[in-house]
Structure 1
Amino acid sequence: IEAIDKKSVHQICSGQVIVDLPTAVKELVENSLDAGATNVEIRLKSFGLLSIEVIDDGHGVEERNFHGLTMKHHTSKLTNFTDLRLVETFGFRGEALSSLCAVCDVIICTKHNNASSGHRMSFNHEGHMTSKTPCARRIGTSVILRNIFSTIPVRRKEFMKNIKKEYSKLLNLVSAYCVVSTRVKITCSNETDGGKKTTSLSTGGATTMEENIISIFGSKQFRNLQEFRQDIPTQESCDTYNVSVASDWSIFKLHGFVSVPRHGAGRSSPDRQFFFVNSRPITLPRLSKIVNEVYHRFNRHQFPFIAINITTRHDLVDVNVTPDKRKVFFQNENLLFAIMTSSMTQLYSLDGCHEVGSTECSISLPCRSPSVTETSQTFSPLSSFRRTMGDDVINSDITKPRKRSASFATKVAKQPRLDKFVMTQHKVTSQCWPVLPDQNNERSVLPDQSNGQQVLPDQNNERPVLPDQSNGQPVLPDQNNGRPVLPDQNQSNGQPVLPDQNNGRPVLPDKSNGQPVLPDQNNGRPVLPDHNNGQPVLPDQNNGQPVLPDAKHPSNIGDSHVVDTPRLSQTSETSLKFSFKHLMEFYKEKKKPSQPPTEYSLFRANLADTTTAEAELTKNLDKSSFQQMAPVGQFNLGFVIGRHGNDLFIIDQHASDEIYNYETLQATQTLQTQNLVVPLKLQLTPAGKIVLIENLEIFRKNGFGFKISSDEVTPTPTATIHLTTIPTHNPHPLGPPDIDEMIFMLSDAPGVMCRPTRVRRIFATRACRMSTMIGTSLTKRQMLRLIRHMSEIVHPWNCPHGRPTMRHLIDIGKLRQ
């Protein structure tokens, strides 16, 4: 083992620190902010391919520090490792300028506030100064990088290939510093080969984060945001992240803005999520996942815009994790997660928003404090039934029928069978009776539906006294058995109808003259009145059907007033013998196998050796295997049995044909378009404009058309883009949110054909409808065509809806003879 020479070590480590264009610019911007600059200007030529220049108005560099300016591990920000616990600056390692010297040509112009003139210095790839000349300059520092990655040919070639993508990533990174840096003006511009300079990003040195967000993303984006309010975590959040409720929550202070959960206020992709620790931009994947999960409870189809600055003690966070210092570790990470989860949940809940699929509410109310008269709640059928006995209706007007909530039927039921019964009662009766407590003994009092009078309960056994529907007189229950005395249905006669004294069956009134109708003494069937003369009509003794009156004479049955009358249900109790001992014996008998399992396959591997057994059971199948697979036959008019060597596979004929049609539509289909009467101006970031301009053909295949207004022949990030054509799809037309989603996908894979989520759903539905259905009989040629198609597509293993297309059945070579 031999030591690596210092020159090689310098080049190896420098290539790890400066990996791309955004990293190089980030290091220079952080040096400017550490120097106390209030104006930072980033100038690029040919998107950074020729040169990169960062100019600031900081305090500059003293002349006695020129030789150590670009030396490895030379810095003025700390002297030993213990200082790292309290470091407050962005940089602290002393590696940035030294690493930049190793990958490009570096020129620095600086003037200290105590110096009479500035100096221009050049450095070689080892970080040594090669020249120093006086120059005219204001107080501050300018760093110029030329021919970046010229010492690493492979990386230089890759950088030239993806120059526009690198520039887009640079603008996204600089946007993070623009959001969090207050009282600092940051400008980013690019100069093309023709000498035209365009400003891609600029802030005005605002004093608040709110103004920075408006200057970068526009006022329209800010109107969909609300200020983040930090709250004490709930017991549920503490249990989820295993933290104590008594923990010191004050060690974290969170401030920023987050999207409101209203549909359309979020983003179609998580492309605008910024997290900061003590104003340092960082990446927190776990925290970002928590934010998205909480937001999806209230708006499941979008992602939030979020910009949160986490303020904590410097000794509680470790920023010395990765070379770019973007990844950090917290001493109490779970505590931070609990605060974020509870704060976002309470923020949306207190503003009147409700979780999607919640059992308490299924709609989102306006985010404001409702008054008593404006409050509109949604209850499940069962909860609505229970609330009629609550105290919240004491102050309601008992003479008015209680109205159902607008979304009564859309509530998700916890007990579907019981809720179905209550829902049926709501459909039958058009009114619900509010219940008032009796002032004397707090027993429930039902109002009379006809005249609004109260119905008092029976004083003896607290059974309610039902009102007479005709004249409002109370109907007393039978004193013997408590069964209610039913009122006479005739308007002219309000005499109560007593139950039969022998068997307790009620005596029904005659519709015509109010005479009671006695039940048949033989079989208890009621005797129906004759509508002609009021004489009782006995049912037929043979079949029990009533003898109808003569049709020649008119009937006055339609004159009767039909009302709902209470019905009493007879209950009985039955004693059942139960024994845990017998139950356990029955369960043990059920667990015993009726007969030993039949062995169908012979495995050569020793099952004790899991590695060998797993290797024997593993089947490797790639797309080329479908070219050698032959159809054996069709099973159950829905599946094709295919054979590849000694292996049999079962293929879902509908799923396999569906994924083939889906990928064909994805690659070739151009959606029908419709021109907009008034073109819509798009609110895009400079990086988004670059991605859109570079991939116009992909947007055209998805049905989008644009009008780009620019002063140059080649559109630039400062160009104005209007949406002129959209894809036609009812009932929800595609628009700017789908464009943002495509920009997010194309920023990671430029030039690759992609479709927004809603277009993919359209194609999935079309592919499903045009595919071979289950129940269709196939010929051998058709089965062979389905199998061959699976070798031509990219993802043949699942259909667009997630159903698997095939499964392995058996290895014929292992069957017993």
Structure 2
Amino acid sequence: MTNIITLPQQVGHEILSELVCVDLRAAIKELIDNSLDAGAKKIVIKIENFGLTSFSVNDDGHGIAEENFPLLGVRSCTSKINTLEDFKNIKTYGFRGEALHALGITSDLSIKTKVEEAITGFNIFFNQSGILDRTEQICMTRGTTITVTNFLCRRPVRRHYHEGRKVKALEEVLGLIQTYVFARIDVRYELSHTQNGKVKSLLTSMGRNCTLKGVMDQVLGGKPPMSQTTTSIVESPISTQYFNHFKLAQIPNLLHYQDEIHFEGVISFVQKGMGCSGKHRFFLYVNGRPMTCLRIGTAVKEVYKRFNPSEFPQMILYITMPPSIIDVNTSALKDVLESKCIEILLAKLCSSLDSMFYQDNESIVLTNNKRKNPYVDNENRGISSFPAAKRPKATSILSNVLDNDISSNQTTLDGIVVVKPREIKCESQSVVQNIPTALEIDENIQTTEPINGMEIDKSSNVIQKSPGEIISTTNDAGKESSEIELNKTAKNVDDAVFKTPTRVATSYQKKNSIPDGENANKCSEVRDEIKIIEEIMVVRRTTRTIRPLKLVKFSKINFTNRLKKVGEEKELEKDKRNFHKQFAKDSIKDHEAELKCEIRKTDFQNMEIIGQFNMGFIFCSLGHNIFVFDQHACDEIYNYEMLIKNTTITSQPLQTPTVLDVGALRENVLQNNIAVFEKCGFRLKIDESREVGSRTLLTALPVVAKCQYETSDLIQMLDNLLNFPNSNCVPKKTKALFASMACRKSVMIGKPLSFRQMRSIVEHLEDLKAPWNCPHGRPTFRFIARHSEDQNK
């Protein structure tokens, strides 16, 4: 335990932050940091009346020595660092020495603490300036309890803001504790909230000798549990693709840090159903400190979306980096990652995830509809872009035939399912081009040796099958179609030269693999089938019409002049299309207002109806602006929002209630919005005797014609409420049903309307939450033109 000192003025000024403990989450975070730095193994957070009355953080750390009491509430007093050099190698969670000072001057602060050697503990009180006021001896066990009452009582504006969002503030604290649970799984966390004398436990972690999978299942919940839908992250070297993508060649002096950057953790499988449908959940820890980094989150999501486009990943990532290349003091909460080696970290992380996901999904099926392989980039990406250690092992066509159980209709070629030639029609050009006709030479081959009776010439990428037959392979990624050329000396089909693009991923077998018996017959069948394909392709090639060459005169000067003339014509045409208006210098603001067109909901009442056009559109004017309204879309969005607002869906009770294992954070949101779910037809019951995270029981499901609801619909609503608290939370199935009902109920195109009906349709838009589009996305109105006062309407 180090004594508290006052930092030098220059050091304190360098790391100073004016925004400390400005809300409930920030205050509790600072106190938890102090508890972890004190070596605590159990941290208990108690909140009363959303923090407005009081909140406290209790830990079993080593306590505070009596000689340090006078400096506890003084600004820039800490025991974590002494100089700026210590800051470059910081390993503690806190270091500024500002949290207790900020709480002391904005709220009422008291501290109870006891060290192991002391006989009694002390209760410490501070005045309004955060200075030590008095102390009292008390009886307590080792540890520290910091209590804050009348939070932000001396900052009325911020307290008023906190009162307006107190429910959201409590959810933020719950999310914060979730984050710290994964930062230190050996520490036991307990979070409870007291309101109207009733104590409610929000989260309790296991601590001690627990495992990461156990903590994931307990805290995050979900069905199936997160431990069953995630895989461990395997670290891999930086691939050439991501080396170039993140432009690491521009920072050669930092590349040596890639050997000092390591990471581990878990991420969702890329198979369908393993990710989450809502916003992705991402927990990031750098050297044990909870952090956020938008670039890392975006990069992980982009890699994951290439393999699973319809879902988002869940990820817990632990990064270890040298403290000297990290700056954790860029934000008031010390939770934003900034590093000069961020590109190296991103390249290494993306390479590792890409290699992992590719190995899990290296099999594809080749069909006539040319299904796109989501695991191969469109930009020069193939197996060769992976590190050599991570490439799939090469096996020959014949060894696959011998080792695998092959049906009568398919042949497996190195993980690629190919339809047999007897099922291929000659006129299907796209199918023939997708059939591999030669073997691709692996870049790792260093010697020339015979393979199944064929000799390999590494330098020329040629396989010599027989004295008169040559099979040639090319590594030119720019060639996208198979090409067959007849040798000038070739006398039959066997003398053809075959060129195959690198995207056909087949390989070879070792030297002494000689099939016998029944396997030899299979090999013979495969050879015959390959020969049939070769004959088909040779016929297609030889029957093509060859155009005669024609000599054309070419002048470089004339060509340059023609290009210049075409460019000038395009620029002239572009200028004609552009809108030009000259303004006087003394009236720029007036002309800016003239070009600006903004409409609010209240403007719908002031619209002047001009008339109906084509029995489908309503023309209106507002001042000098003319608008056109889609009568069907306007009436449809009005009917849709009225259905959502006024319809209460009936419920069908379940014979056996379903336990909702949704985790602590989701459970808190669920219990705070029970009325929203009951309006949608979900009936819920709270069982306080059950474990935190699974105390909510689903007792009834909605009943709507032609719609069958499941628990997943409720989870989807819960995710929307968690990400967008003030949105209209309705299941997707209900939205689709209401949109269809509103469409059939609305005014159709082709119906003539009176002026009263047209005005009613336009004025209804003022009362809607989102009157700008219909439920199916069609805009309700558009700005047409602006007319002057002397023009006729």
Letter in structure 2 aligned against 1:754: C
Aligned with 2:25: secondary structure? Answer: helix
Cα distance in 1 for partners of 2:166, 2:577 equals: 63
Cα distance in 2 for partners of 1:303, 1:144 equals: 40
Letter in structure 1 aligned against 2:492: E
Partner of 2:663: 685
Partner of 2:625: 647
| Residue correspondence of structure 1 range 153-302 to structure 2 within 5 A | 153-194=156-197, 196=199, 198=201, 200-206=203-209, 208-218=211-221, 220-244=225-249, 247-248=255-256, 249-270=258-279, 272-302=281-311
Q: 106-115 vs 722-731, which deviates more?
A: 722-731
Shift of 1:273: 1.9
Partner of 1:415: none
Shift of 1:201: 2.1
Partner of 2:346: 337
Partner of 2:603: 625
1:571 and 2:545 aligned: yes
Which of residues 305, 308, 319 is equivalent to 1:310? Answer: 319
Q: 211-220 vs 569-578, which deviates more?
A: 569-578
Cα distance in 2 for partners of 1:307, 1:23 equals: 22
Shift of 1:67: 0.8
Provide closer, same or farther for how the CA distance between residues 697 and 301 of structure 1 changes in structure 2, counting only shifts above 3 A: farther
Aligned with 1:571: secondary structure? Answer: coil
* Contact 1:186 1:205 survives alignment (8 Å): no
* Contact 2:185 2:207 survives alignment (8 Å): no
Partner of 1:809: 784
Aligned with 1:813: secondary structure? Answer: coil
Cα distance in 2 for partners of 1:814, 1:672 equals: 56
Letter in structure 1 aligned against 2:272: H
Cα distance in 1 for partners of 2:34, 2:241 equals: 43
**Relative contact order higher in (CA < 8 Å, ≥ 6 apart):** 2
Question: Which structure's CA Rg is the greater one?
Answer: 1
Partner of 1:468: none
* Contact 1:14 1:98 survives alignment (8 Å): no
Shift of 1:208: 4.4
* Contact 1:690 1:716 survives alignment (8 Å): no
Gaps of 5+ in 2: 1-15, 376-394, 419-424, 440-453, 455-464, 472-486, 496-538
* Contact 2:609 2:759 survives alignment (8 Å): yes
Which of residues 99, 102, 105 is equivalent to 2:105? Answer: 102
State the TM-score, normalizing by the size of structure 1.
Answer: 0.69
Aligned with 1:342: secondary structure? Answer: helix
C-alpha deviations, 1:283-334, integer Å up to 9, x for none? Answer: 2223222222322223333322211122111111111122221223111222
Q: 675-684 vs 745-754, which deviates more?
A: 745-754
Cα distance in 2 for partners of 1:282, 1:120 equals: 33
Shift of 1:338: 2.3
Partner of 2:484: none
* Contact 2:52 2:150 survives alignment (8 Å): yes
* Contact 1:297 1:356 survives alignment (8 Å): no
Aligned with 2:316: secondary structure? Answer: strand
Shift of 1:615: 4.0
C-alpha deviations, 1:434-466, integer Å up to 9, x for none? Answer: 99998664489xxxxxxxxxxxx999742599x
Letter in structure 2 aligned against 1:659: I
* Contact 2:269 2:275 survives alignment (8 Å): yes
Aligned with 2:247: secondary structure? Answer: coil
Q: 82-91 vs 129-138, which deviates more?
A: 129-138
Partner of 1:710: 688
Partner of 1:517: none
Letter in structure 1 aligned against 2:333: D
Provide closer, same or farther for how the CA distance between residues 732 and 612 of structure 1 changes in structure 2, counting only shifts above 3 A: same
Q: 255-264 vs 14-23, which deviates more?
A: 14-23
Partner of 1:739: 714
Cα distance in 2 for partners of 1:127, 1:592 equals: 75
Cα distance in 2 for partners of 1:159, 1:203 equals: 31
C-alpha deviations, 1:219-258, integer Å up to 9, x for none? Answer: 8121111112222233332333322396232232112111
* Contact 2:682 2:702 survives alignment (8 Å): yes
Provide closer, same or farther for how the CA distance between residues 195 and 634 of structure 1 changes in structure 2, counting only shifts above 3 A: closer
Provide closer, same or farther for how the CA distance between residues 579 and 800 of structure 1 changes in structure 2, counting only shifts above 3 A: farther
Cα distance in 1 for partners of 2:564, 2:790 equals: 35
1:84 and 2:87 aligned: yes
Provide closer, same or farther for how the CA distance between residues 613 and 192 of structure 1 changes in structure 2, counting only shifts above 3 A: closer
Shift of 1:211: 3.6
C-alpha deviations, 1:600-649, integer Å up to 9, x for none? Answer: 99956359998775543222322233333334445556544333333322
Letter in structure 2 aligned against 1:200: L
Aligned with 1:170: secondary structure? Answer: helix
Letter in structure 2 aligned against 1:350: Q
Aligned with 2:771: secondary structure? Answer: coil
Letter in structure 1 aligned against 2:226: Q
C-alpha deviations, 1:731-762, integer Å up to 9, x for none? Answer: 98554444344334434665764234554455
Provide closer, same or farther for how the CA distance between residues 611 and 296 of structure 1 changes in structure 2, counting only shifts above 3 A: farther
Partner of 2:492: 462
* Contact 1:298 1:356 survives alignment (8 Å): no
Partner of 2:391: none
* Contact 1:44 1:190 survives alignment (8 Å): yes
Letter in structure 2 aligned against 1:296: K
Which of residues 329, 332, 336 is equivalent to 1:323? Answer: 332
Shift of 1:181: 0.4
Aligned with 2:310: secondary structure? Answer: coil
Shift of 1:730: 9.6
| Residue correspondence of structure 1 range 8-47 to structure 2 within 5 A | 16-47=19-50
Aligned with 2:336: secondary structure? Answer: coil
Cα distance in 2 for partners of 1:771, 1:341 equals: 50
Structural RMSD (CA): 5.0
Percent identity among equivalent residues? 29
State the TM-score, normalizing by the size of structure 2.
Answer: 0.70
Q: 172-181 vs 49-58, which deviates more?
A: 49-58
Cα distance in 1 for partners of 2:26, 2:74 equals: 19
* Contact 1:261 1:353 survives alignment (8 Å): no
Shift of 1:35: 0.8
